[in-house]
Amino acid sequence: MGGVGSIWAARHLGLGKDVAVKFMSASLAIDPTAIARFHREGALMARIKSPHVAEVHEHGVAEDGLPYIVMELLRGEELSDRLARAGRLPLDETVTLVLELCAGLAAAHALGIIHRDITPEHVFLADVGGRTCAKLLDFGVARGDVDGDGTTLTATGTVVGSLVYMSPEQFFNPKQVDGRSDLWSVAVMAYQALTGAPPFEQKGLEALLSAIRIGAFPLPSERCPDVAPALDAWFLRALSREPSGRYDTAEEMADALRRAAASLQPPAAPGPAGAAGKAG
């Protein structure tokens, strides 16, 4: 976690299970705003009940004064590591990844929680009972309901997130960011998983911002001949420059990809010739 803090594996005696404990960095634990944001992350994640969001058991302050968050202990790897190793993912794995992330986001968005920093480093591919389960991590810059005193912990208009995966509105109109911005980030990761590179990867901030502002990107089928053109329409909508041109909800985006992928499946083989209408 670098300067933000550290994560340790531990045994939770009260729960009788192994857990992960995220401690805030001592250098940040003297900043009231950073402390409040850290506790806010724990509180927001604890509210989201989804198998595709890392579960938070509790959060508080340790005896040495360091804030902590107790989470489920995950075994597996970050999506970033998987992509670095494999380069690309097969279509079925990419579709499953998107569907599971959309399920987690649907649960978060229903509570008014916007992640705002979805990247391959913040997606964990956990081994759950022998199968891979995608889980969203790190809600450190998430936007939720206002605090009890009526204030928010992120300054109005502040740009947050990781550049390559940030939606246009996160750059150019951060006050208007909503759940569709998270969906954009998922679509960028899906594009990268299928083609081996994100849709907007220009070198230098100015060139990257210009590409995102224009909203033009190579169609996946143009970049990789083995990607079916039937998927291009899904990406064109999911990565629309204007939020109003995208899918409105995580459920809608997931269902559209499910149907697009299903259209690529070969038709079922017919039954034995003459079976239909045969007298008994």
Query: Which residues, including other chains, have CB under 8 Å from residue 9's CB and lie 6 or more apart?
Result: 18, 19, 20, 21, 73
Which candidate in 18, 31, 64, 117 is catalytic? 117
Query: Which residues, including other chains, have CB under 8 Å from residue 265's CB and lie 6 or more apart?
Result: none
Q: What is the mean pLDDT of the chain?
A: 87
Identical fold for domains 5-72 and 76-144+157-262, yes or no, is: no
User: What's the CATH fold of domain 76-144+157-262?
Assistant: Transferase(Phosphotransferase); domain 1 (1.10.510)
Q: How far apart are the first and last CA of the chain?
A: 70
**Per-residue pLDDT tens digits for 94-122:** 999 999 999 999 999 999 999 999 999 99
Map out the domains of the chain as residue ranges: 5-72, 76-144+157-262
Please state the pTM of the whole predicted model.
Answer: 0.86
In which band, very low, low, confident or very high, does the pLDDT at 12 lie, cut at 50, 70 and 90?
very high
Strand pairing report for 67-72 and 17-24? antiparallel
Q: Is the pLDDT of residue 236 over 60?
A: yes
CATH 3.30.200.20 fits 5-72, yes or no: yes
Active site includes 117?
yes
pLDDT of amino acid 5: 77
User: What is the token pair recorded at 208?
Assistant: 């990257």
Report the 10 Å Cβ neighbour count for 197. 16
Residue 209, Cβ density class (10 Å: 0-12 exposed, 13-18 middle, ≥19 buried): middle
Q: Which of 112-121, 179-188, 191-200, 269-278 has the lowest mean pLDDT?
A: 269-278
